[in-house]
Amino acid sequence: MSIQIEAVCSNPNGWTYQKMTSTDVTWYTQNGKYINRIGVDASDVVYIVGDWSWNRIHPDKYEMVDELLAKNRESLGWRRAAAR
């Protein structure tokens, strides 16, 4: 069974999961340190492994990029969902 995710976090500006992850991967390939941090999910969507998971599995390659990825998305017009 395959589940397609089309929206993330009640995204108010219509970005799909694929657009968000594509934007993240583009940024990370230019600014990130570890190419093996780029993953592929079960639906063949390329994404960046999140800080918590990455740093837990690779403590010797500690890197914090989640907030930097969000700031990059915001610079391209993405808005964070309002807090509930």
Can you give 15-60 as a three-state secondary structure string?
CCHHHHHHHHHHHHHHHCCCHHHEEECCCCCEEECCHHHHHHHCHH
Backbone angles phi, psi at 46, to 5 degrees: -80, 135
Question: What angle is formed at CA 64 by the lines to CA 60 and CA 68, rounded to 5 degrees?
Answer: 155
Tokens of 28: 């990370």
pLDDT, residue 13, reads: 67
pLDDT < 70: residue spans in the chain: 1-13, 81-84
pLDDT, residue 14, reads: 75
pLDDT, residue 35, reads: 95
pLDDT, residue 15, reads: 81
